[in-house]
Chains A and B, each alone.
Chain A
Amino acid sequence: MTYKRKDGRKNDEMRSPIIAKVGIVPNADGSAMFQIGKTIAIAAVYGPKKMHPQHSQNPERGTLRCTYNMLSFSVEDRIRPGPSRRSTEISKITQWALDPVVMLNNYPNMVVDVHISITQADAGTRCAGINAAAMALAHAGIPMRDMVSSVAVGKMDKTIVLDLDKYEDSEFEDGEGSTDIPMSFTNNGEMTHLQLDGKITKEQLKEAAKMAQKASKEIYEIQKKALKESLGDLK
């Protein structure tokens, strides 16, 4: 039996709406929001600025520092404010996803801070966060080789699907269960981030990666449009 998606989406269809906007935090050097389905992420960039604490300074190049944080009420069971193991890991994953495109050679001893907040969560928050962060970095005028676009693919029982929602990510248990594979790509097609939780064969994973790469192009177009339309909003 093939898996049929509860919300009626095709297997390779992302959730809607997908909304992207830049300039949402006037105080920041660059900022953006990214919504996919019911998941909403906002991101703000400050810098390049002096790195504190001093022992974290890198005299060779500037440092990208990402902080991912979920607002306490963004999920059903309230999260206690402050960093957790999960948020600490995702912060680092986000930095790794973006580092390959960010060019900070000319900013030794400095830091670019990217602050990400999830204001409403319904699976795929790290991907939404990375999408918002990439836009905010560009908006802040940070030198970048390319953009980064992020989406999850997954496997529900035996079926490969795109962009898991909360039910698919954490409630579905039939057959082989649910596999979640968040990935990020440059527009050039290179993979900058990959995680996987579940069970999958190598062939299926190859198929899933192709599906995610294709979807990342769609996300790129949405990010691009938002950045191009924002001229009037710059502080």
Chain B
Amino acid sequence: MSERKIVIPGETIEEGNDFLPGEGTEKTGEKIIALRYGLAEESNRLVKVIPLSGVYNPRRGNVVIGKVEILTFNGWVINIGTAENAFLSLAEVPGFVNKDGLDEIMDIGDMATVKISGINKRGVDVTIKSRGLGRIDEGIIVSVNPNKVPRIIGKEGSMINLIKEETKSNITVGQNGYVWIQGDKIEDELFAKKAILFVTEKSFTSGLTEEVKKWFEENKK
């Protein structure tokens, strides 16, 4: 198989013993079967299905964006759009925090960029102890299909850097599909939003970076 193709659940992707089943697939007899809808891809004999849709599954180390829903006596409960809310403990905040002043750090309704530090039976633990994390004070939040996030970021951040440069905006892409854009002017932020939505629409065309450069040429005033 040279090209990527869309497969549906139960579909045979490859036959014969030359191939190994990767993520989203299963080997039944000599057949490699798709276990979900997505793009089938083969490299070095390994066959996998790249999802096109589906909810975000939290992973350790992911930066995500969420909304503060509850203040507890020792931290914040944050909705990151997953089945279980995330918990930010007081201990995961840089510097000293007065226990009575939790709301001064982050209050109910505030948006925050957080990093997943652990996943256990109880739920998802997050931290804001690294650079660039914490409360979001201004800008816009855009919601996208979380499966498109890798394309929005691009190889080593090439795509998101291009968009940042062209729109003169700061952009943080949460792995959960929430994107925070902050620019000097609202126009810049909306321009960045438009560019990001363009990437999500075209996300599986080849030569996407060139395509996006062209889009910027055409859409700049």
A interface residues (Cβ-Cβ under 8 A, vs B):
29-30, 47-50, 101, 103, 107, 109-110, 138-147, 186-188, 223-224, 227-228, 231-232, 234-235
Is the CB–CB distance between B54 and A142 below 8 Å? yes
Q: Is B55 in contact with chain A by the CB < 8 A criterion? A: yes
B35 close to A143 (CB less than 8 A):
yes
Q: How far is the CB of B82 from chain A (nearest CB, A)?
A: 8
A contact residues around B145 at 8 Å (CB): 234-235
Q: State how many angstroms separate the Cβ of A23 from the closest Cβ of chain B.
A: 10
Docked-complex contact B8 and A224, CB < 8 angstroms = yes
Min Cβ gap B19→A in Å is: 19
Do residues A48 and B55 form an inter-chain contact, with CB atoms below 8 A? yes
Q: Which of A103, A110, A139, A187 contacts B83 (CB 8 A)?
A: A110
- Contact between A146 and B10 (Cβ–Cβ < 8 Å)? yes
Q: Which of A109, A186, A188, A235 has the most CB of B within 10 A?
A: A235
Nearest CB on A from B193, distance (A): 15
Contact of B55 among A49, A186, A227 (CB under 8 A): A49
Please give, as numbers and ranges, the residues of chain A lying within 8 Å of B6 by CB-CB distance.
227-228, 231
With a CB–CB cut-off of 8 A, which chain B residues contact A29?
A: 53-55
B51: chain A residues within 8 A (beta carbon): 141
Choose one: A103, A138, A234, A235; the contact of B8 (CB below 8 Å): A138
Interface size, chain B (Cβ < 8 Å): 23
CA distance A145 to B35 in the complex (A): 5
Q: Does B216 contact A (CB under 8 A)?
A: no
A residues less than 8 Å from B204 (CB atoms): 231
* Assembly CA distance A188 to B11 (angstroms): 10
Q: How far is the CB of B20 from the nearest CB of chain A, in Å?
A: 19
Please indicate the chain A residues that have their CB under 8 angstroms from the CB of B83 in the complex.
47-50, 107, 109-110
B84 & A187 in contact (Cβ 8 Å cutoff): no
Contact indicator B10/A141 (Cβ below 8 Å): no
A138 touches B54 (CB 8 A): no
28 A–B pairs (Cβ distance < 8 Å), ordered by A? A29-B54, A30-B53, A47-B55, A48-B55, A49-B55, A49-B83, A50-B84, A101-B9, A101-B10, A109-B83, A138-B8, A141-B52, A141-B147, A142-B36, A143-B35, A144-B37, A145-B9, A145-B26, A146-B9, A147-B8, A147-B10, A186-B10, A188-B10, A224-B11, A227-B6, A227-B8, A231-B52, A234-B147
* Chain A residue, CB-CB nearest to B201: A232
Rounded to whole Å, the gap between the CB of A20 and the closest CB of chain B is 12
Minimum CB distance partner of A50 in chain B: B83
CB distance from A144 to the nearest CB of B (A): 4
Q: 16 extra interchain contacts, Cβ-Cβ under 8 A, other than A49-B83, A141-B37, A231-B52?
A: A48-B83, A107-B83, A109-B83, A140-B53, A141-B38, A141-B55, A141-B147, A144-B35, A145-B10, A145-B26, A145-B33, A188-B10, A227-B6, A234-B145, A234-B147, A235-B145
Interface centre among A186, A232, A234 (most CB of B within 10 A): A234
Q: With A and B bound together, what is the CA distance between A141 and B38 in angstroms?
A: 8
Q: A103-B35, A227-B37 are in contact. Are A147 and B9 (CB under 8 A)?
A: yes
